[in-house]
Amino acid sequence: MKSEDDTAGNSGSTDSTVLLHVEGRTGVITLNRPKALNSLTHPMVLRIDAALAAWAEDPAVHQVLIRGAGERGLCAGGDIRAIHDDAKAGGTASADFWRDEYRLNARIARYPKPYVALMDGIVMGGGVGVSAHGTVRIVTERSRVAMPETGIGFVPDVGGTHLLSRAPGELGTHLALTAAAVGAADALLCGLADHFVPADRLPELTADLATAPAHEVLPRYGEAAPPPGELAERRAWIDRCYAADTVEEIVDLLLAQGVPAAKEAAEAILAKSPTALKVTLASLRRAAALGSLEPVLVEEFRVSCHALRSPDLVEGIRAQVVDKDRRPRWSPADLAEVSGADVERFFAPLGEGRELRLPEGGLSRG
């Protein structure tokens, strides 16, 4: 077994928020902030990226495994309180974080060795970014997978619009606008995961990966079925309603279905930032047209940087995380007040030297 510092390619580091070691043939990444649901910080992103770069060149490492410490989840996303403080102060730390985070997402998607993600428990936002772009994505009966950004006045990022735009029918649009979390069966249906393994078998699976490749190990764990999901039986009205061209039309169609779940979806959407909703719908449609991940990440970076200067991001995080009053005061407060020009501003180029540039290395899968 190699030492943590050797595997990180970062000798001398004392950072314990990401633990790195090699077990047999597998490089293991453990996100180690369990009290914070393993939320990502900028140093964590850089440490993961450095380890992946080192292991890609290490012939002793045949595959990589990422997991979260504790039993609550792989990762609840980025540190949104830090983003709130940075946005409020007019700083640039969040943009710097996103630049490196999105580069990490691209590296994971094009990684030359199998990248196995244990998507156990809560996997949201940035947690999706470090898992769902991998080659082997495993969910359990405890998994709750979501891109919840519209609830804090933000827009799905970390390649989330790419992933959701590729979900069957309009399932991705539904998840993006409502910010709903899904369990294992629905994550599999939406293409956010590949395999179901009961949570109590993860230690055994992890031990097996030390001695054999993932494609040989996983068939031993394929007997169990995930708990039933909800989305398959709702596909008819989801595909019909979310195919509309505007958020207003989507809401009207949902309310007209006469189905309790559709009404709940409409109410969930109407509680979100009107601006974030319209930008999210535009982002999903653009991501579908762009096709591959890299150009989507470039566009998401533009949107995220513009959102950093939007009042709704600060207000949404304040209401949900800082003051926790759950009563955001969106500006503007109504969908009708968000114009097409307002939406287009989020996609405007950032200017020379400010755009996201991804390292050379070939296109990502899909």
Catalytic residue annotation:
78, 126, 149, 157
The answer to whether 136 and 194 have CB atoms below 8 angstroms apart is yes
Helix (H) or strand (E) holding 285: helix 274-290
CA distance 241 to 247: 10
User: Apex CA 275: angle with CA 270 and CA 281, to 5°?
Assistant: 80
Go through 324-361 and write b for each residue having 16 or more CB atoms within 10 A of its CB, e for each that does not.
eeeebebeeeebeebeeeebeebeeeeeeeeebebeee
User: Apex CA 144: angle with CA 140 and CA 149, to 5°?
Assistant: 150
Spatial strand order of the sheet with 73-75 comes to 73-75, 122-124, 144-146
Residue 180's nearest CA partner among 228, 124, 236 is 124
Residue 149's nearest CA partner among 73, 227, 80 is 80
The answer to whether 63 and 86 have CB atoms below 8 angstroms apart is no
Q: How far is CA 148 from CA 125, 181, 359, in A?
A: 7, 8, 28
The answer to whether 26 and 64 have CB atoms below 8 angstroms apart is yes
Q: How far is CA 9 from the centre of its chain?
A: 26
The answer to whether 191 and 135 have CB atoms below 8 angstroms apart is no
Assigned token pair, 124: 């949201």
Helical H segments across 125-183, by residue range: 126-129, 160-165, 171-178
Assigned token pair, 353: 């030297």
Assigned token pair, 50: 């450095």
